[in-house]
């Protein structure tokens, strides 16, 4: 059988190619991919920032949904046609992190869709341990948001938010917005700091208090809104220098800061505030299986307004222009590619 796949060829180029479908190997599940969202990491790959890691032969993509199409030797418990999502992490099973139960941040972690073949193709084989089954009634385009939503669940779980706490989310892109939604669901009073007016407008529509640090002093504003206490929990999702300055300046006494963003360069951090206010700093990277379970639950409960969160859905044939549009208009929330038509 011949199938279509988008292949990253370097130089901001995807080529749409036909290839032979590979049968699932031992321990693998073959998936017919329905939808795959475009992640910030995919954009980095497209822009050439990760060429050394990814190469020029790879089908990328990991924010997906689909149905089981076949199973390999030794795999049981799956039926063809069953709706699923994939938790795209392949761990080694024998390193200090794996042995301590932290498989999601395995020392030899392979991120499926970056370090190995991903979901911008019709048929995709993955290890069976990465597959999560979906309820029959979930919309597959919405289900493709479970991966980024699981990131947000993991971030919020690291912070252990208590009902009524003041929460500051620095950066209102797709992950920042999802962190805000999950934090609010956990009982936090959430303020989002963001500089893009389109993203601020979306956040306000979702009922969030917002700050644009370009027009007001964000620390003064947070102090004003919290009776000079500051934010009990701060999520740094912006990956920016001003974001790192704000995270310590806006944190309350004994505040918890969660580092969500990927800082490629080492930022200067105001360590004095850690001493002065007895702050705590938590790292949060990808997700654990239980974060996926929680994300599925929150999605089916309607915590995310999927219809407005998904800005556009385009066919696989349009992947090149979809990526080009996102690089020139970064204020879109979530662009999604429909990989194949799956009857629901």
By beta-carbon proximity to Zn ion, the closer residue of 98 and 257 is 98
By CB under 5 A, name the binding residues for Zn ion: 39, 91-92, 95, 98, 106
Report CA torsion sign: 13, 18, 20, 25.
positive
300 catalytic per annotation: no
Distance CA 336, CA 340 (A): 12
Given the complex with Zn ion, which of 24 and 174 has the nearer CB atom? 174
* The two structure tokens encoding residue 272: 């004095």
Question: Least distance to Zn ion from the beta carbon of 95, Å?
Answer: 3
CB of 336 to Zn ion, least distance (A): 12
DSSP bridge pairs for 231: 251
- Residue placing its CB nearer to Zn ion in the complex, 40 or 242: 40
Q: Which of 3, 44, 132, 198 is catalytic?
A: 44
Alpha carbon of residue 211 to chain centroid: 23
- Phi/psi zone of residue 44: left (φ > 0), alpha (ψ -120 to 50 degrees), beta? alpha
| Residue 253 known to be catalytic | no
Q: How many residues does the chain have?
A: 344
Q: Minimum distance from CB of 148 to Zn ion (Å)?
A: 6
Rank residues 19 and 110 by Cβ distance to Zn ion and give the closer one. Answer: 110
Give the nearest distance from C-beta 79 to Zn ion in angstroms. 28
For the record, the structure tokens of 127 come out as 């290890």
In angstroms, give the least distance from the CB of 30 to Zn ion: 22
Strand ranges (DSSP E) for the chain?
2-8, 14-20, 28-37, 63-71, 83-86, 89-90, 110-111, 123-127, 131-133, 166-170, 189-193, 209-211, 231-236, 251-259, 280-283, 310-315, 334-338
Which is nearer to Zn ion, 39 or 192 (by Cβ)?
39
What residues are labeled active site?
Answer: 41, 44
């Amino acid at each position: 059988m011949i199938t279509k796949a988008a292949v990253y060829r370097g130089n901001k180029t995807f080529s749409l190619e036909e290839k032979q479908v590979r049968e699932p190997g031992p321990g693998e599940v073959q998936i017919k991919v329905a939808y795959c969202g475009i992640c910030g990491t995919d954009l980095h790959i497209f822009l050439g920032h990760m060429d050394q890691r990814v190469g020029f032969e790879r089908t990328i993509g990991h924010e997906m949904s689909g149905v089981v199409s076949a199973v390999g030797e030794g795999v049981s418990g799956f039926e063809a046609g069953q709706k699923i999502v994939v938790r795209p992490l392949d761990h080694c099973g024998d390193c200090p992190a794996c042995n301590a139960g932290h498989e999601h941040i395995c020392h030899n972690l392979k991120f499926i869709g970056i370090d190995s073949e991903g979901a911008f193709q019709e048929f995709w084989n993955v290890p069976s341990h990465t597959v999560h089954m979906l309820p029959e009634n979930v919309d597959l385009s919405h289900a493709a948001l479970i991966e980024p939503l699981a990131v947000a669940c993991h971030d919020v779980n690291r912070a252990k938010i208590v009902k009524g706490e003041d929460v500051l989310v620095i950066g209102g892109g797709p992950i920042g917005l999802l962190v805000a939604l999950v934090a609010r669901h956990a009982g936090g009073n959430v303020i989002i700091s963001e500089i893009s007016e389109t993203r601020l407008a979306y956040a306000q529509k979702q009922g969030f208090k917002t700050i644009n640090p370009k027009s007001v002093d964000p620390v003064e504003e947070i102090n004003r809104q919290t009776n000079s206490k500051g934010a009990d929990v701060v999520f740094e999702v912006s990956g920016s220098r001003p974001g790192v300055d704000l995270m310590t300046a806006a944190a309350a006494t004994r505040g918890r800061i969660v580092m969500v963003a990927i800082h490629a360069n080492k930022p200067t951090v105001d360590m004095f505030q850690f001493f002065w206010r007895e702050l705590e700093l938590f790292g949060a990277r990808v997700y654990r299986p239980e974060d996926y379970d929680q994300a599925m639950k929150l999605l089916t409960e309607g915590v995310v307004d999927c219809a407005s969160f998904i800005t556009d859905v385009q066919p696989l044939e349009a992947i090149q222009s979809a990526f080009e549009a996102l690089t020139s208009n970064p204020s879109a929330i979530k662009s999604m590619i429909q990989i194949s038509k799956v009857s629901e």
